[in-house]
Chains A and B, each alone.
Chain A
Amino acid sequence: MRLLMWFAIAGGPAAWAVHLLTAWSVNELSCLSPTASGVALHDGSLGIRSHTAVWLGTGLPWLVAVAAVGSCVLLTRAHRSAQQRDGVEAAIKERTSLLLVLGWFLSLMSLAAITGGGIALLVLEPCA
């Protein structure tokens, strides 16, 4: 449960950070720089083409962010049932509520940011 809570809070922002860094760096590397590595990535001679890499760098983190939102759903249900039970300290209930709100917000916001990046990919060529 504790691990799931960590994932609910940090999973979304981590996914967004991965998206931003991988998609941006692959894009910048292969689209702008006339370098050996950039060209190799662009024409696929590295085994993967740049637009596939950019899509992967957006799609996979998007799925992780969705999973983080899913874990918030599970944890919220568990927290509600725990609140109805006696014997759980009020301070711990308070803290769990606070962390859950944090998890919900961070996951949803990360999901929104990655979705925004995905929309850009839908309307623009990866090397536009």
Chain B
Amino acid sequence: MTLDDVQPQLARADIDAAAAGMLPERALAEGTVGEKLRELWEEKPGLIGFISTVNHKRIGRRYLVTAAFFFLLAGIEALVMRTQLVGPNGSVVSAETYDRLFSLHGTAMIFFFATPMNNGFGNYVVPLMLGTRDMAFPRLNALSYWIFLFSGLLMFASLPLGMAPDGGWFAYVPLTRQLSGHGLDFYALGLLLLAVSSTVGALNLIVTTLKMRAPGMTLARMPVFAWSVLVQSFMLLFALPPLDLANAMLFTDRRFDTQFFAESKGGDTLLWQHLFWIFGHPDVYIIVLPALGIVSSVVPVFTRRPIAAYPFIVLATVATGIISFGVWVHHMFAVGISDVAESFFAAATLTISLPAGIQMFAWIATMWRGRVVLSTAMLYAISFVAAFVVGGVTGVMFAVVPFDQQVTDSYFVVAHFHYVLFGGAVLPLLAGLFYWWPKITGRTINEKAGKWSFVVVFVGFNLTFFPMHISGLEGMPRRIYTYGPDTGWTIWNILSTAGSYLLGAGFVFTLGVLVESLLRDRWAPDDPWRANTLEWATASPPEDYNFPVIPTVHSLNPLWDGQTLPSMVEHRYDDQRTMLDHHKTLRTSELDARVEAIIAMPSDTSLPLCLAACLTVSVIGLLAGLYVLAAVAFAGVGVAAVVWLWKRPDTVPPVDMTPPVGRTTGWWAMVLFIATEGATFAAFIASYFYLRFSATGPWPPHGDIPPKIVVPSIATAVMVLSCLPVWLAGRWAAKGRRALASAAGLVTLAAGVAFVVLQITDWFAEWPASTLSKDAYGSLLFGLTGLHVAHVVVGLGMLAFLAVSLLSRRAAARPGGPVSLVALYWYFMALIAVAVYVTVYLSPRW
């Protein structure tokens, strides 16, 4: 069927569809295949359906609601702090409670609100925008949400328990190493648990963006929001490992007496700052980039023209992601680094303002050349531009080292980062909420009330945070719980506190507008805004299967090009685009979105919830010092993982469309997992050398002798040689020779076991001379080798599972199948074995 054949049918469908608020193209496609797809994709009702859903839209909604709930809690903490500071010598809360409030407020806003809220939009909108039926890994998506929920609840539970973190959101050592109580344990373990969720979520979004786009959606036709989520997800994969490592080191320093940050034992307090800010600065953009993507979605729709300078916006997004990793030291300008080193990072910090400026000009140009419609969403987008300019300008001021040193740790910094994070993230998130609300709920809002709620929020925001610039310049330090009457700061604090109450009222008003919308029957049509991207080609709210027919994308603005929508009608009898026999979707190529295969998707399952619950119990066991409970719960994680893999949906081979098949989603997932784990090892090895070269005496310190080398040499050789059988296993599996592949996998397994035994033997040999807690050297030695052994043990589990599932025909024996994925992981283990050997065993001899 061609486009010309489609036009007369569209004209007939147009009248009926318009009356029902449907796009005529979707109406025709739904009429042809909708009923069958509805039966196929329908989810279980009730509680079972609630806990077992893997649908990206339900999970996305949960992310949004849960993150908003944490925002509410953290916002109440902020109001208590502002009340305390309204006048001098405030006594609403004690100093200790104030410490806990600002620590939890910062931690929650950064980790449990801003990033997950972005994830919510990413989860809900990205698959719709890309024209696919779900995320690449729906079960991982559910796992990611459940872990996020449990880690957030764990973190907030610490406050009523009187164990909330009290060392600030960046938890600087040596203070946090020495603080008594469980507050910092909640912090370190809570963030480690959350990191699992964030890593899994990021990996899923990357693979979805690269491999699940509708045919024809080349990278150059991908919406800016999808680009920003893609870049943000890559950033998360590489930014989280240093933070995870730092938190693991902090927890073991506090609990098991390791010495990573103990200056007197060869540790270094600056190591924490480096590791934290290597994560911390990119995290600003991890939060802000998707928000900028939202603005790039809203602005063209409400200016009625395509976005200006699309390639430049994309490059600005990518450039921001890259440069953000090279500016972390500007958070440390006041710690005593040399002028030259500060200049290197000042130059980088000045450079990063360029891509942000490019995006600003692109939005302004779009508005300038378009016809602006001042909807609530657009008002938030415009207000973001103003607020982000203020935050950006003060950010550039921090690149000037002498200025930074004057205002560091003052309220000027608090004002700056609230303009960046509230202005740069919360305002766009509100824009996104009002923009996608009709799609998410199927209802429209009262625009007039929405605009008034915007006014209150915007005024409240500026009244809260702008005076902090002045109190900061007048010398008010951040984190103080009260101040004297003769400081001159009172007036600015009164204004800020009044603003914070106004802001709170604005949020209550906003909530009222949204609730009113839910209670009224103002049903939204498919495309209430006459928007340009694919999510508006679905029902409002979308059906469980998203698209009845996967369209062919012809441009960057598919709903405006007059070709993409008709392609849904054109292909409505095409099995490849309708996939009516199972939960299936299309897999396409990374660059040009050519169809590669039809892949099976999993159905509802409560496994993600079970796995997340086991992991959370394991963390609680660690927190409470109940190590047996932690070990048993962790074993539960292993069991859940085995059941998970045993019930893989893709044991049915994919239907290949064109040879070659291309890279599978599993291949990408494994490569990305290896990349993020590689970053963890790189951070650990860098920490080793940082401490080694910071040591004031010989290395190993304190009279330690370099570790013995014979056993580790044999172990490393065994590990490297074990790559051969696993490579053969991959070759044989590709040819369908299951028995041989299984046998080769078992040989690799035996070699891996030998490696672990040899490594443990070496630990016993080293132990009397050097222990985990003797000094930083011992902590590094056992920490690094221990982390590697733990990874090898996971690899052994994979090999054993693979051998069994190959023989029982559960695992597919084909090119690019699970054997090749396990082989990839094993090569990575061998590579790390060499890196650890050189670092731990050879380098002390240099």
Residues of A within 8 A of B (CB): 13, 16-17, 19-20, 23-24, 27-29, 31-38, 54, 91-92, 94-95, 97-98, 101-102, 105-106, 109, 112-117, 119-121, 124-128
Residue B337 interfacial (CB < 8 Å): yes
Residue B322 interfacial (CB < 8 Å): yes
In the bound complex, how far is the Cα of B694 from the Cα of A97, in angstroms?
A: 47
In the complex, per-residue mask of B300-336: 1 if CB is within 8 Å of any chain A CB, else 0: 0000000000011011101100110110010000001
Q: What are 19 pairs between A and B in contact, CB < 8 Å?
A: A16-B326, A20-B344, A20-B345, A24-B329, A27-B341, A28-B337, A29-B693, A32-B336, A34-B696, A35-B695, A95-B591, A95-B592, A101-B312, A102-B315, A102-B318, A106-B319, A109-B323, A109-B354, A117-B347
Q: In the assembled complex, which residues on chain B have CB atoms less than 8 Å from the CB atom of A38?
A: 693
In the bound complex, how far is the Cα of B325 from the Cα of A17, in angstroms?
A: 9
A24 close to B311 (CB less than 8 A): no
Closest to A115 in B: B347
B340 close to A128 (CB less than 8 A): yes
Q: In the assembled complex, which residues on chain B have CB atoms less than 8 Å from the CB atom of A125?
A: 340
Residue B153 interfacial (CB < 8 Å): no
A117 close to B592 (CB less than 8 A): no
Residue B343 interfacial (CB < 8 Å): yes
B340 close to A37 (CB less than 8 A): no
Q: How far is the CB of B240 from chain A (nearest CB, A)?
A: 19
B311 close to A97 (CB less than 8 A): yes
Closest to B350 in A: A116
Q: In the assembled complex, which residues on chain B have CB atoms less than 8 Å from the CB atom of A94?
A: 218, 220-221
A13 close to B341 (CB less than 8 A): no
Residue B339 interfacial (CB < 8 Å): yes
Q: How far is the CB of B340 from chain A (nearest CB, A)?
A: 5
In the bound complex, how far is the Cα of B354 from the Cα of A77, in angstroms?
A: 26
Q: In the assembled complex, which residues on chain B have CB atoms less than 8 Å from the CB atom of A109?
A: 319, 323, 351, 354-355
Q: In the assembled complex, which residues on chain B have CB atoms less than 8 Å from the CB atom of A127?
A: 338, 340
Q: In the assembled complex, which residues on chain A have CB atoms less than 8 Å from the CB atom of B219?
A: 95, 98
Q: How far is the CB of A62 from chain B (nearest CB, A)?
A: 12
B218 close to A35 (CB less than 8 A): no
In the bound complex, how far is the Cα of B311 from the Cα of A106, in angstroms?
A: 13
Contact of A20 among B311, B319, B326, B340 (CB under 8 A): B326
Closest to B329 in A: A24
Residues of B within 8 A of A (CB): 216, 218-221, 311-312, 314-316, 318-319, 322-323, 325-326, 329, 336-341, 343-348, 350-351, 354-355, 591-592, 692-698
Q: How far is the CB of B104 from chain A (nearest CB, A)?
A: 34
B348 close to A113 (CB less than 8 A): yes
Closest to A112 in B: B351
Closest to B268 in A: A33
Q: How far is the CB of B469 from chain A (nearest CB, A)?
A: 27
Beyond A28-B338, A109-B319, A127-B340, whether A97 also contacts B345 by CB under 8 A is: no
A128 close to B696 (CB less than 8 A): no
Beyond A13-B322, A95-B220, A101-B315, whether A128 also contacts B339 by CB under 8 A is: yes
Closest to B316 in A: A105
B337 close to A116 (CB less than 8 A): no
In the bound complex, how far is the Cα of B319 from the Cα of A102, in angstroms?
A: 8
Q: In the assembled complex, which residues on chain B have CB atoms less than 8 Å from the CB atom of A20?
A: 326, 344-345, 348
Q: How far is the CB of A40 from chain B (nearest CB, A)?
A: 11
In the bound complex, how far is the Cα of B401 from the Cα of A128, in angstroms?
A: 14
Q: How far is the CB of A26 from chain B (nearest CB, A)?
A: 9
Q: How far is the CB of A116 from chain B (nearest CB, A)?
A: 3
- Main SS of chain B's interface residues? helix
A24 close to B345 (CB less than 8 A): yes
Q: How far is the CB of A117 from chain B (nearest CB, A)?
A: 4
B319 close to A128 (CB less than 8 A): no
B220 close to A120 (CB less than 8 A): no
In the bound complex, how far is the Cα of B350 from the Cα of A119, in angstroms?
A: 14
In the bound complex, how far is the Cα of B341 from the Cα of A124, in angstroms?
A: 10
In the bound complex, how far is the Cα of B314 from the Cα of A29, in angstroms?
A: 38
- 6 closest Cβ pairs, A-B complex: A116-B347, A120-B343, A94-B220, A101-B311, A128-B339, A117-B344
Contact of B338 among A32, A106, A117 (CB under 8 A): A32
A31 close to B315 (CB less than 8 A): no
B592 close to A120 (CB less than 8 A): no
Q: How far is the CB of A25 from chain B (nearest CB, A)?
A: 8
In the bound complex, how far is the Cα of B220 from the Cα of A32, in angstroms?
A: 47
Q: In the assembled complex, which residues on chain B have CB atoms less than 8 Å from the CB atom of A17?
A: 325-326
Closest to A111 in B: B351
A124 close to B694 (CB less than 8 A): no
Q: How far is the CB of B563 from chain A (nearest CB, A)?
A: 13
In the bound complex, how far is the Cα of B553 from the Cα of A85, in angstroms?
A: 24
Q: In the assembled complex, which residues on chain B have CB atoms less than 8 Å from the CB atom of A24?
A: 329, 341, 344-345
B218 close to A95 (CB less than 8 A): yes
B338 close to A102 (CB less than 8 A): no
Closest to B348 in A: A113
Q: In the assembled complex, which residues on chain B have CB atoms less than 8 Å from the CB atom of A27?
A: 338, 340-341
In the bound complex, how far is the Cα of B342 from the Cα of A24, in angstroms?
A: 9
Q: In the assembled complex, which residues on chain A have CB atoms less than 8 Å from the CB atom of B698?
A: 36
Q: In the assembled complex, which residues on chain A have CB atoms less than 8 Å from the CB atom of B341?
A: 23-24, 27-28, 31
Q: In the assembled complex, which residues on chain B have CB atoms less than 8 Å from the CB atom of A121?
A: 340
Q: How far is the CB of B720 from chain A (nearest CB, A)?
A: 27
Q: In the assembled complex, which residues on chain B have CB atoms less than 8 Å from the CB atom of A32?
A: 336-338
In the bound complex, how far is the Cα of B344 from the Cα of A116, in angstroms?
A: 7
Knowing that A31-B341, A105-B312, A109-B323 are A-B contacts, what are 19 other residue pairs whose CB atoms are under 8 Å apart, sorted by A's residue number? A20-B345, A24-B344, A32-B336, A32-B338, A34-B696, A35-B696, A36-B697, A36-B698, A37-B693, A95-B219, A95-B220, A95-B591, A115-B347, A116-B347, A116-B351, A120-B340, A120-B346, A124-B340, A128-B340
Closest to B698 in A: A36
Closest to A13 in B: B322
Beyond A32-B337, A95-B591, A97-B311, whether A117 also contacts B343 by CB under 8 A is: yes
B220 close to A113 (CB less than 8 A): no
In the bound complex, how far is the Cα of B312 from the Cα of A101, in angstroms?
A: 7
Q: In the assembled complex, which residues on chain A have CB atoms less than 8 Å from the CB atom of B315?
A: 101-102, 105-106
B322 close to A106 (CB less than 8 A): yes
B340 close to A126 (CB less than 8 A): yes
Beyond A29-B693, A35-B693, A116-B347, whether A98 also contacts B337 by CB under 8 A is: no
A91 close to B340 (CB less than 8 A): no
In the bound complex, how far is the Cα of B323 from the Cα of A17, in angstroms?
A: 9
In the bound complex, how far is the Cα of B591 from the Cα of A107, in angstroms?
A: 22
Q: In the assembled complex, which residues on chain B have CB atoms less than 8 Å from the CB atom of A19?
A: 344
In the bound complex, how far is the Cα of B338 from the Cα of A125, in angstroms?
A: 10
Q: How far is the CB of A58 from chain B (nearest CB, A)?
A: 8
In the bound complex, how far is the Cα of B350 from the Cα of A112, in angstroms?
A: 10
Q: How far is the CB of A72 from chain B (nearest CB, A)?
A: 12
Q: In the assembled complex, which residues on chain B have CB atoms less than 8 Å from the CB atom of A36?
A: 697-698
In the bound complex, how far is the Cα of B355 from the Cα of A13, in angstroms?
A: 14
In the bound complex, how far is the Cα of B351 from the Cα of A115, in angstroms?
A: 11
Beyond A20-B326, A24-B329, A35-B696, whether A113 also contacts B319 by CB under 8 A is: no
Q: In the assembled complex, which residues on chain A have CB atoms less than 8 Å from the CB atom of B346?
A: 116, 120
Q: How far is the CB of A13 from chain B (nearest CB, A)?
A: 5
Q: Chain B CB within 10 Å — which of A19, A27, A33 has the most?
A: A27
